[in-house]
Chains A and B, each alone.
Chain A
Amino acid sequence: MTTANLSPVPLMPDSPLYADYFKGLRDGRLVAEICTGCGQLQWPPRELCGHCQSSTFEPVDVPTEGVVYTYSVMYRAFHRAFADKLPYGVVVVEVADGVRFIGRYAGPDPESLECGQRMEAVFDDLGPESGSVAWRRVEDPAPASR
């Protein structure tokens, strides 16, 4: 996997617990984990299943559309990588009952973000196989280059 220095995605780490997730992003899929012991969906990934304490999981695809559960809009950068992006949005998108993914907001007008807006995942907005997830509003016009 790409290192933090080579990736166009800022601050992207390389963590074994998240290997399935990052592999999924590079393939244009959103991947959570499912416990092979009890079938419970687990997100974020952890070493043990909080329901049955099993430690074996398999990746499972989850929907790439959902609604904004909550969000933030930044007018100050807390890292240089975001200094030229102000104001920028971060959204927490619920893709299935109680399953939420946090990500960059990549659509227009972040200041109009609200809870409940429908979002779809954008996988390659930082370049082909950049391996990150961002979100755009379903209602916004699709960007010219996708």
Chain B
Amino acid sequence: MVATLTDKAYIAGVAETEYVRGTPKSERQLILEASAAACRDAGIDPSTVDGIVMAWKDVPTNEDFIAALGIKDLRFHSHVHIGGASPVAAVVQAAAAIAASLATRVLVPTGHNWFSRPVRLSSMEQTPGGVGNVPGAEIRNNLENPAGLLAAMQWYSLHANRWFHETKADPAGMETVALTTRRHAHLNSKAYMRDRELTSDQYRASPVLVKPFHLFDICLETDGAAAVLVVSEEEARHMNGRAVAIAGGAEGHAECPDDLSTRPNILDMGITKAASRAFDMAGVRHDDIDFAEIYDCFTFIVLRQLEEMGFCDRGEASDFVSGGRIALGGDMPVNTHGGLLSQAHGIGMNHVIEAVIQLRGEAGPAQVEDAHIGLVTGYGDFSDGSVVILHN
């Protein structure tokens, strides 16, 4: 059986709130505002939305959406809970719901007040189980927390340090990702770091918080929300002509997905399984990808995803990203908006939105020339992965 979603669903509207550090608004309000704005961007009345796939968050509930958007007949809703892999997986799920005729106008929202949450992930105030929403709470509480392992950047370090040991990978690739992404942010008026330069000297002089991560290997903590509207092919035909087609997509889960320490091979990730499924469904090859928006909670995880997707071999991503290949103007620009590292922590929905903007040709100074096929990834929890391939 060849299951395919190719060109069955389109992203017709995108919106994001301002990305800020500090907001009086609740996450619920921000997510609802972004959702309404995504409908306006598509040129539809929000009350005609008939499906919602909520990425990562439990709130807003479907009742909240119905009340706020005046939805008349919600026919389908679900929640996707795989951390930062949720937005891309939720877009694929929305496409599947549309392909199955369960709905025709499906909102995919998310948002998080990373900066204004009670305990920031970078702070000394973590509480056992306090990260919230991560799987394997008992493993965290019984084995990791008493050892002094409490925060996301510590988990990622376990993966990174093994990767360096096994493959002798060149750490220079981490700096390349940090600096390239920052330069892209300078072209994005919505990027939190649009005006702040990052030089190689500054990168290298920044403190190591957890080996091997310098400060600038770690993503921003910002407040904000984002949403996209996924519609059927027929709906897209009647819209404003800016809709972007979903060529293929997939999610994947690593073995032992709630624990890095006991995973048979810590280098195996969800995207290791998901990428080939997405490429096969879309009917494209790596060479066909014009640009990629890659989930970048850490610089090194960009390198690892490039490897696991097959753009290069394990341990070779530092070579792959060198020589300007992932910069605007290069063979395959990556994170043309600035990413989580330098735009904002939009949980990767900002990556989906940037891909749509690129394929609409609306990226202004950051526009990729002749952009026709874009790839977006998500990474969440303990290596859950998701990929979607879009085209215009």
Given known contacts A70-B161, A70-B165, A78 and B151 CB-to-CB distance under 8 angstroms: yes
Q: Which residues of B contact A88 (CB under 8 A)?
A: 148
Closest to B151 in A: A78
Q: Contact at A115–B141, with CB atoms within 8 Å?
A: no
Which residues of B, 103-132, contact A by the 8 Å Cβ criterion?
122-128
Q: Contact at B210–A102, with CB atoms within 8 Å?
A: no
Checking A17, A72, A76 against B161 with a beta-carbon cut-off of 8 angstroms, the contacting residue is: A72
Q: Which residues of B contact A102 (CB under 8 A)?
A: 143-144, 147, 149, 261
Query: C-beta contact mask, B252-268 vs A, less than 8 Å → 1, else 0?
Result: 00000001011010100
Checking A17, A21, A79, A85 against B124 with a beta-carbon cut-off of 8 angstroms, the contacting residue is: A79
Is B146 an interface residue, CB under 8 A from the partner? yes
Q: Which residues of B contact A115 (CB under 8 A)?
A: 161-162, 165-166
Is A62 an interface residue, CB under 8 A from the partner? no
Q: What's the nearest-Cβ distance from chain B to residue A46, in Å?
A: 9
Q: Which residues of A contact B126 (CB under 8 A)?
A: 78-79
Interface residues of chain A: helix, strand, loop or mixed (majority): mixed
Given known contacts A18-B138, A72-B211, A132-B146, A78 and B261 CB-to-CB distance under 8 angstroms: no
Is B29 an interface residue, CB under 8 A from the partner? no
Q: Which residues of B contact A9 (CB under 8 A)?
A: 146
Q: Which residues of A contact B261 (CB under 8 A)?
A: 69-70, 92, 100-102
Q: Contact at A72–B146, with CB atoms within 8 Å?
A: no
Q: Which residues of B contact A69 (CB under 8 A)?
A: 162, 261, 266
CA distance A71 to B145 in the complex (A): 15
Q: What's the nearest-Cβ distance from chain A to residue B271, in Å?
A: 20
Given known contacts A13-B142, A77-B124, A70 and B162 CB-to-CB distance under 8 angstroms: yes
Q: Which residues of A contact B259 (CB under 8 A)?
A: 44
Q: Which residues of A contact B141 (CB under 8 A)?
A: 11, 13, 15
Query: C-beta contact mask, B197-209 vs A, less than 8 Å → 1, else 0?
Result: 0000000000111
Q: Which residues of B contact A111 (CB under 8 A)?
A: 211
Q: Contact at B162–A44, with CB atoms within 8 Å?
A: no
Q: What's the nearest-Cβ distance from chain B to residue A41, in Å?
A: 11
CA distance A91 to B207 in the complex (A): 22
Is B6 an interface residue, CB under 8 A from the partner? no
Which residues of A, 73-102, contact B by the 8 Å Cβ criterion?
73-83, 85, 88, 90, 92, 98-102
CA distance A13 to B261 in the complex (A): 19
Closest to A104 in B: B147
CA distance A115 to B149 in the complex (A): 18
Checking B142, B143, B148 against A85 with a beta-carbon cut-off of 8 angstroms, the contacting residue is: B148
Is A138 an interface residue, CB under 8 A from the partner? no
Is A116 an interface residue, CB under 8 A from the partner? yes
CA distance A43 to B166 in the complex (A): 23
**Chain A interface bracket (under 10, 10 to 19, 20 to 34, 35 or more):** 35 or more
Is B17 an interface residue, CB under 8 A from the partner? no
Q: What's the nearest-Cβ distance from chain B to residue A44, in Å?
A: 5
Is A12 an interface residue, CB under 8 A from the partner? yes
Is A10 an interface residue, CB under 8 A from the partner? yes
CA distance A98 to B151 in the complex (A): 25
Closest to B255 in A: A50
CA distance A70 to B162 in the complex (A): 5
Closest to A17 in B: B138
Q: Which residues of A contact B266 (CB under 8 A)?
A: 69-70
Is A114 an interface residue, CB under 8 A from the partner? yes
Q: Contact at A11–B145, with CB atoms within 8 Å?
A: yes
Q: What's the nearest-Cβ distance from chain A to residue B216, in Å?
A: 14
Is B158 an interface residue, CB under 8 A from the partner? yes
Is A103 an interface residue, CB under 8 A from the partner? yes
Query: C-beta contact mask, B209-220 vs A, less than 8 Å → 1, else 0?
Result: 111000000000
Q: Contact at A11–B207, with CB atoms within 8 Å?
A: no
Q: Contact at B128–A13, with CB atoms within 8 Å?
A: yes
CA distance A90 to B146 in the complex (A): 10
Q: Which residues of A contact B139 (CB under 8 A)?
A: 44
Is B276 an interface residue, CB under 8 A from the partner? no
Q: Which residues of A contact B127 (CB under 8 A)?
A: 79
Q: Which residues of B contact A12 (CB under 8 A)?
A: 146
Checking B142, B143, B149, B166 against A72 with a beta-carbon cut-off of 8 angstroms, the contacting residue is: B149
Q: What's the nearest-Cβ distance from chain A to residue B202, in Å?
A: 18
Specify which of B141, B146, B157, B210 lies most central, judged by the most chain A CB atoms within 10 Å of its CB. Answer: B146
Give 5 A-B pairs besides A13-B142, A71-B161, A98-B264 with Cβ atoms closer than 8 angstroms. A10-B148, A22-B142, A72-B161, A75-B208, A132-B146
Query: Which residues of A line the B interface, CB within 8 A?
Result: 9-13, 15, 17-18, 21-22, 43-44, 69-83, 85, 88, 90, 92, 98-104, 111, 114-116, 132
28 contacts across the A-B interface (CB closer than 8 A): A10-B145, A11-B128, A11-B150, A12-B146, A13-B128, A13-B146, A17-B138, A70-B158, A71-B158, A72-B154, A72-B210, A73-B211, A74-B209, A74-B210, A75-B211, A76-B122, A76-B209, A77-B124, A78-B124, A78-B148, A79-B150, A85-B148, A88-B148, A90-B148, A98-B264, A99-B262, A103-B147, A104-B146
